[in-house]
Structure 1
Amino acid sequence: MDHDDYNAYLKQQYSHEIRPLQSVNDVISAFQKKLDIAETELSESEAIFLKMTIFNYINAHINDPNLDNLNFISYEVVRNEKSDHYYNHMRIRSDNERILVIIESQLNAITSNCEELKVDMNIERGIDTSHVNQETPEFIAYLMLFDAHNENH
């Protein structure tokens, strides 16, 4: 399937599932109804994930004058029956490993060390209607999340 055909497929297949943009705090609240998610401190090894996340966000927003005021908050997805799907997807076997979610509300940024959960959270977060109306690359990338989600379920 070529690029234009794939974009047409994405729009036809998933346009009815588009959600309006929400804050990352709203996304966390929505997922706290589905999973047990609690604010947490990071271990030394997990801090590397946070440092890479901060580095990526700063590089992506290099011209933003508010970069000095960023406040990253980390959450743990508690391992239990509700979260087994995500833990099994990551093939986590050790009790020392856990799924993390990191947000920064000023940038409205959310990420996770679990790709499947990150996709699900970004779908839940939604997209600004200006991207939808103008069919920007961000809009196509958002629709691609639905394709990735369907492949993982």
Structure 2
Amino acid sequence: MTGWPAFIEPTQAAGRRFVGRRIKGGVTMLNLLRFRPVADYAAHPELAPPEPISGAAAFDRYVRHTLPFLRASGGDLVFLGEGGAFLIGPEDESWDLVMLVRQASVAAFLAFAEDEAYRAGLGHRVAALADARLLPLVERAITA
């Protein structure tokens, strides 16, 4: 892997930049995810299973918990697939899972992210991830 620091949560500055983009309409979130070999529930022991599980298994718990809230907010999981090494990119960098999440608007995304019932399961994500990237994407029309 790279010598970059791990990223799990957005910073306040990144959140301000995201909102400051003033995106009109839908937004799709590109998630690049790298799992811990064994999930670390130290920060959220109330969610820990009785026996250790892999980071991938913890993330599956996060997805199962999250989907009803995501869909209720008008969003959806557009793509979930296994990652790997880049065809074009750093040779020593790979991602375990790639996920595309679509939301109708930035406001809908922010409301979803602040939902307390959704946030109650966020510890599965924290336990699962060794590193992550989240890139907001805005669809662009193709011009001829």
Q: What TM-score do the two structures reach when normalised by structure 1?
A: 0.30
More helix by share: 1
Q: Which has the higher contact order (CA 8 A, sep 6+)?
A: 2
More strand by share: 2
